Amino acid sequence: MPFIPHTEKDTREMLKKIGVDSIADLFDEIPTELKIEQLEHVPEALSEMEISRLMRQRAKMDGSPMCFIGAGAYEHHIPTAVWDIATRGEFYSAYTPYQAEASQGTLQVIYEYQTMITELTGLDVSNASLYDGASALAEASLMAVRINRRVKSGRVLLAPGVNPVYEQVAAAIAGAQGLTFERLPEDMTTGNVDFNALPEGGDPVAVVLQQPSFTGTLDDVDRITDWAHANGALMIGVVNPTSLALLKAPGRWGAEGADIAIGEGQPLGIPMSSGGPYFGFMTCKKKHVRQMPGRIVGRTTDLDDKPGFALTLQAREQHIRRSKATSNICTNQGLMVTAATIYMSLLGHEGLVNVANTCHHNTALLVDGLSALDGVERLFDGPFFHEVALKLDQPVTPLLETLADRDILAGLDITPFVGTDALLVCATETKTQGDIEACIAAFSDVLASANTNSV
């Protein structure tokens, strides 16, 4: 809340009502030797005016640089109405809607969200979010093991373009449960799967493909999906929801479609805010729904034949059958899901297509301009959506630091991931032609200075 409304008189009256002399008496069960008199290094309390001024000063320290970084978190325009609605008390303080009769508004929002996400991914059923895209990969992998019980290997094969951070998180979460994550061979020209070197046998439980890939490339989703199914593995697609306004939905990959689709929902109306909070989404084929983690809202009718909403298939969550639950995902990123639902509702199909097209157009302008500079070229050939990896003839980090001093966040240094000096750039619909030209000009200037200093 923005302020504490209780006066000292209010506090005294409440303490008198419950029969205690002081607030400290409410904690008398804590042993005295465990209590401290004061917190060291904590400054004196500030007034409302003072704290407001301090926080404004701290916020200004972030500045307002132009951002061309992507790699899983994207700067999109968010209509003001999204968070004006999402932060209303009815949504902002809503908790897990166990009591359907008291939670119809929250339940309807979740139901609408599920409907929209299934339409985007082309699959049958959606849950109501996971913590983020990385943990969604871990949950999808564990889900695949439960579905594909015939396979006992625990091997999950990752396409070259799967986000390396996602792999690290999935290994940390699911590795202790017997899963191993292995990379498929890479075509060094395209950065995608090398179909001429695919392994035979090995009994994989699942294959994971990210589209667009971490480095921005687009893979042959049909071919890899059919290969996965031919080898007895489930197909897990990792997708950017904005890209699905243009690209083929996972549910239509190959002859049978992906079995599970996951991804990071941050592009759908969630601001970039020092790393979070974000939310992960997950959809699957109907036949796999009982193995899907998280909550699902269903639409039904009451005794008067009026429509209503309720949690369904709840035995998958730990609050019903803890010993047999598929996961412990219960309280998750519901507020982020609410914002995403409002965002998708406001933009609609046409709006999402416009955003996606503009992102691709702006990235093409940026990449064409940067690639024309000496010492800069594309790392991989082939089509892209709104991210591209660029190969540089010098270390990337010093260039980025110099550009940051000019209020330009020019991309992400992916050298540790690809083994050569490389930069991942992204341009969304928030960038004007002037922004792109300014980035290219600054990049050219910094490159020229670096080359001069190295002579």
Same domain assignment for residues 370 and 449 = yes
How far apart CA 297 and CA 262 sit, in angstroms, is 18
Other CB atoms within 10 A of residue 188 CB: 12
In a domain, 2, yes or no: no
Using the 3D structure, point to which of 314, 343, 372 is the last residue of a domain.
343
Q: Residue 3 falls within a domain, yes or no?
A: no
Same domain, yes or no, for 41 and 72? no
Q: Are 126 and 283 in contact (CB under 8 A)?
A: yes
3-state secondary structure 157-187: EECCCCCHHHHHHHHHHHHHHCCEEEECCEC
Overall number of domains in the chain: 3
CA distance 134 to 140: 10
Q: Half-sphere exposure (CA, 13 Å, Cβ side) for 429?
A: 15
Per the listing, tokens 């928030």 go with 430
Cβ contacts of 352 within 8 Å, gap of 6 or more: 242, 245, 344
Residues 227 and 162 both lie in one domain: yes
- For residues 179 and 268, state if they share a domain: yes
Would 1 be classed as within a structural domain? no
Give yes or no: residues 169 and 143 share one domain: yes
Give, in order, the Cα–Cα distances in Å from 338 to each of 88, 157, 186: 11, 33, 38
Task: Return the structure tokens found at 155.
Answer: 């091997």
365 and 317 in one domain? no
The CA distance from 212 to 380, in Å, is: 13
Residue whose entry in the numeric block shows the structure tokens 């979070």: 276
Handedness of CA 92, 97, 102, 107 (dihedral sign): positive
Contacts of 252 (CB under 8 A, 6+ apart): 122
Neighbours of 255 (CB within 10 A): 10
Whether 241 maps to a domain, the answer reads: yes
- Token pair belonging to 101: 């009769």
pLDDT per residue as tens digits for the range 58-85: 888 888 899 999 999 999 999 999 999 9
Please give the pLDDT value at position 1. Answer: 47
pLDDT over 70 at 454, yes or no? no
The span from the CA of 369 to the CA of 427, in Å, is 13
For 355-366, write each residue's pLDDT tens digit.
999 999 999 999
Over the stretch 133-180, which tens digit does the pLDDT of each residue have? 999 999 999 999 999 999 999 999 999 999 999 999 999 999 989 999
Asked whether residue 233 carries a pLDDT value surpassing 90, the answer given is yes
Q: What CATH number is given to the structural domain containing 400?
A: 3.90.1150.10
pLDDT tens-digit readout, 333-352: 889 999 999 999 999 999 99
Q: Quick check: 319 and 330 in contact, CB under 8 A?
A: yes
Give residue-wise pLDDT tens across range 389-399: 999 999 999 99
CB 331 within 8 A of CB 95: yes
Alpha helices (H) in 253-382, listed in sequence order: 334-371
Residue 24 lies in a domain: yes
In this prediction, residue 318 has a pLDDT band, given cuts at 50, 70 and 90, of low
pLDDT grade for 332, boundaries at 50, 70 and 90: low
pLDDT at 200: 85
Domain presence at residue 22: yes
Q: Taking Cα atoms as reference points, which of 203, 191, 250 lies closest to residue 230? A: 203
On whether both 91 and 44 belong to a single domain, the answer is no
Say whether both 339 and 428 belong to one domain: no
In which domain, by residue range, is 381 found? 66-76+349-454
CATH number for the domain that contains residue 295: 3.40.640.10
| DSSP symbol at 57 | H
Q: Token pair 């416009």 is at which residue? A: 354
- The answer to the question of residue 15 being in a domain is yes
Point out the domain boundary residue: 315, 343, 371: 343
Is the pLDDT reported for residue 430 higher than 60? yes
Residues 243 and 309 both lie in one domain: yes
198 lies in the same domain as 113: yes
Are the CB atoms for 265 and 113 separated by under 8 Å? no
Of 102 and 124, the one with more pLDDT: 124
CB neighbours of residue 419 within 10 Å: 8
Instruction: State pLDDT tens for residues 236-276.
Output: 999 999 999 999 999 999 999 999 999 999 999 999 987 77
Instruction: Report whether pLDDT(331) > 70.
Output: no
Percent of the chain with pLDDT over 70: 96
The letter for the amino acid at 269 is G
pLDDT in tens, 111-132: 999 999 999 999 999 998 899 9
Asked if 310 and 402 sit in the same domain, the reply is no
Q: Tell me the C-alpha distance between 120 and 112, whole Å.
A: 13
Percentage with pLDDT > 90 across the chain: 76
Residue 4: per-residue pLDDT: 72
Least confident span in 61-65, 307-311, 408-412: 61-65
User: Is 356 found in the same domain as 306?
Assistant: no
CB 357 within 8 A of CB 153: no
Structure tokens belonging to residue 79: 């209509």
Mean pLDDT over the full length of the chain:
92
The model's pLDDT over 290-304, given as tens digits with 9 standing for 90+, comes to 999 888 999 999 889
pLDDT in tens, 36-49: 888 888 888 888 89
Q: Which of 295, 322, 343 is the last residue of a domain?
A: 343
User: Can you say how many angstroms the Cα of residue 51 is from the centroid of all Cα atoms in its chain?
Assistant: 32
